Structure 1
Amino acid sequence: MNEFYVYLLQCRDGSLYCGYTVDLEARVKKHNSGLGAKYTRCRTPVQLVYYEKLSSKSEALQREAAIKKLTRAQKLQLVASYSLLLNNTDDKGHEK
């Protein structure tokens, strides 16, 4: 079964980029190599700041569209809540 991801990258200039992929690690590497989306090519390095795992391509694309409609402030709030969640869990996703 495939995994589908929606992600947010923070670019070198502080802007945010939202995308969809089936291989998160490879996609971030591709963005940083300059072979990713046109938007990120001149804004490397990029850093993964948020992602969600979804069960279908359709769900992932719908979620990507929803995130892209958010304001910058709302996207930053999403990133902040994700960071808080990560800081409160161990490397296996269990609460500290």
Structure 2
Amino acid sequence: MANPWWLYMIECRGGGIYTGIAIDVDERFKTHVAGKGAKYTKMNPPLRIIARQRFPDRRSAAQAEYAMKRLTPLEKRQWAFTMNGGIVMGARRSVEESLESICPKSAAGAPVLPGGPGA
């Protein structure tokens, strides 16, 4: 049986999110950190892995990657948050702090939801 493939998301310096696929996510992350990964992570150094999902083969992982890259940054963060059971991977944050990182607040302090007022 072939090794499973993984869809992964990395938070980068400046708040950007890089999405990719790999057989070994931890090794691929080390490659990105060393500046030998994708162009995007060379220009925007990776900070942490925020989510990963297992797939049975490369094809299904690549299809998921394609779909993920079509999402907005907020939708990607929401996906990462739910994939991790409400915990932001690699961080020691409260649920409230984690929600704030994926759902910014308006000047009045109210959450700004996609498609809602202030979005």
TM range (shorter): 0.7 to 0.9
Give, in angstroms, the shift of residue 85 of structure 1. 5.2
Matches within 5 A, 1:6-17: 6-17=7-18
Q: Tell me what 1:42 maps to.
A: 43
- Quote the Cα distance in structure 1 between the aligned partners of 2:21 and 2:76: 16
Give, in angstroms, the shift of residue 12 of structure 1. 1.1
Matches within 5 A, 1:24-63: 24-63=25-64
Q: Verify the 8 A CA contact 1:18 1:67 in the aligned structure 2.
A: yes
- Quote the Cα distance in structure 2 between the aligned partners of 1:58 and 1:85: 28
For the pair shown, the structure with the greater C-alpha radius of gyration is 2
Q: Verify the 8 A CA contact 1:4 1:21 in the aligned structure 2.
A: yes
Q: Verify the 8 A CA contact 2:7 2:54 in the aligned structure 1.
A: yes
- Quote the Cα distance in structure 1 between the aligned partners of 2:75 and 2:87: 18
- Quote the Cα distance in structure 1 between the aligned partners of 2:45 and 2:71: 23
Q: Tell me what 1:90 maps to.
A: none
Secondary structure, aligned partner of 2:44? coil
RMSD value, Cα: 1.5
Structure 1 unaligned blocks of 5 or more: 88-96
Deviations 1:42-64 (A, max 9, x none): 22243100111100111000000
TM-score, structure 2 as length reference: 0.68
Deviations 1:17-70 (A, max 9, x none): 100111111100000011010000122243100111100111000000010011
Aligned-residue sequence identity (percent) comes to 31
Larger helix percent: 1
- Segments of 4+ in structure 1 off by > 4 A? none
Residues 71 and 45 of structure 1: CA distance in aligned 2, closer, same or farther (over 3 Å): closer
Secondary structure, aligned partner of 1:7? strand
Q: Verify the 8 A CA contact 1:31 1:46 in the aligned structure 2.
A: no
